[in-house]
Structure 1
């Protein structure tokens, strides 16, 4: 059984930095639950984003023979080797995950498994950045603000359903795992968090002719979600586009399935 090092940032002399969106996980039960969900194994290509004070890093590295971490804060990166039980297994990359080229970590027959307690202020662009590496990523386990996770995992005909739901579900299978209370962090955020899993599709069940067109269409209609599709897409579709896509022009965007969004986007480039 691994030993969980749920460290207190005050004991380490490190003050959480707002500009990095730092909230340090310290609840051992939550840490153990996350590690069980990830289920790391020797021989896997595991990457942790934002290891912080090694609350997750330590138990993860105890279960695998190698772990790569990407940390932007130089002070935290420098202290990581003394906070983990097997520092020889640790590879530290000092970089901004938003800008880092994860292709540098690809290994033949070892798809990436990515883990992280993501800074809430960069979560959405980081998720889209990581999803550009589809085909090389086996799965991702992240903790985010629950409100955001609810939007990622939302289904049609709910108030949470929107751009994040459609685009992330286009690229991956999403699974809501469990909630995490604010008290599990130091300092505690003002929101409840949640852990979820993304499994990028090896072969997308629905494929758009032009994924950039799909992204433009989805972003556009959800900025005008109270309008009917006929009104919000005026001038963007060819004559008869709604009929060929099999979509009611009087519908509103939150009622459409992923397949219907793809069908509409395909009409834009037909």
Structure 2
């Protein structure tokens, strides 16, 4: 079965791109193949695709997956997708904003769930954060996103890319960068490079924390006050009286003069657990 040709479909339906929806459709078959291959989709997998465009990636996934559920916001694309993919009985389309969809309702009793998508740039971070924070039942996300965000996700301590998004994703997932994608692989061409990255959900979070909300509160504030010492960060949260400040840092074996960007996930966990024990 032939691949759908994105350029031909755009021309056939006289489709007009909507800039506000971050529409950049993939036209490079080698990238398409790399996404599908790295996602390791099989007939056991229920695949959720966010932002299917004209269905180029969708068709490749449909030939390998048990079922593909595509979530598309643009009403102009719905009839194109329905028409071009009408021959696939394992295709479902939901005309909704992916930030408002109840993914648990979509997933139902499915056991093996994978997210595969060329994510619209403007929703990249909110989608990732939502899928992780709301604890949806998925095995992996194989997504094409802007290079800058992928580098933040994959970053390690002591570099400018390392931030709260790095900690959030690595708390829940293993990360693996698959490949870089140039602007010429899309129509219209974006102004930045993209990266295909795979996130594999861990069986349990990477570090043990006594209070997840407290852990992420400290993480977020540490990067919101990036140039400040951890002492000032913790003080700004009004979690401890001054007399307990040194105790919290001593118990977690962390120098209170350090900055948050130098802490590993385990050190963030140690600090939040130490503070938790003092305040409870």
TM-score category (smaller protein) = over 0.9
Equivalence for 1:241 = 248
Deviations 1:146-192 (A, max 9, x none): 01100000011122111111111111111111101001110000000
Unmatched segments (≥5 aa) in structure 2 = none
Equivalence for 1:145 = 146
Query: In the TM superposition, what is the alpha-carbon distance from 1:60 to its structure 2 partner?
Result: 1.0
CA distance in 1, matches of 2:145, 2:110: 29
The 8 Å contact of residues 119 and 145 in structure 2, kept in 1 or not, is answered as: yes
The 8 Å contact of residues 46 and 66 in structure 2, kept in 1 or not, is answered as: no
Query: In the TM superposition, what is the alpha-carbon distance from 1:79 to its structure 2 partner?
Result: 1.4
The 8 Å contact of residues 66 and 89 in structure 1, kept in 2 or not, is answered as: yes
CA distance in 2, matches of 1:85, 1:35: 21
Equivalence for 2:118 = 117
The 8 Å contact of residues 3 and 58 in structure 1, kept in 2 or not, is answered as: no
CA distance in 1, matches of 2:208, 2:75: 41
Over the residues paired in the alignment, what is the CA RMSD in angstroms?
1.7
For normalisation by structure 1, the TM-score amounts to 0.93
CA distance in 2, matches of 1:21, 1:253: 33
Equivalence for 2:158 = 157
Corresponding position: 1:230 with 2:237: no
Q: Using a 3 Å threshold, how does the CA distance of structure 1 residues 65 and 45 change in structure 2: closer, same or farther?
A: closer
After TM superposition, the structure 1 = structure 2 runs for residues 22-171 of structure 1, keeping only pairs within 5 Å, are 22-84=23-85, 86-108=87-109, 110-134=111-135, 136-171=137-172
SS at the partner of 1:207?
coil
For normalisation by structure 2, the TM-score amounts to 0.90
CA distance in 2, matches of 1:40, 1:205: 25
Deviations 1:56-87 (A, max 9, x none): 00111122242111111122122112223733
The 8 Å contact of residues 6 and 27 in structure 2, kept in 1 or not, is answered as: yes
The 8 Å contact of residues 137 and 200 in structure 1, kept in 2 or not, is answered as: yes
Greater Cα shift, 177-186 or 101-110:
101-110
Query: In the TM superposition, what is the alpha-carbon distance from 1:109 to its structure 2 partner?
Result: 5.8
Unmatched segments (≥5 aa) in structure 1 = none
Equivalence for 2:2 = 3
SS at the partner of 1:87?
coil
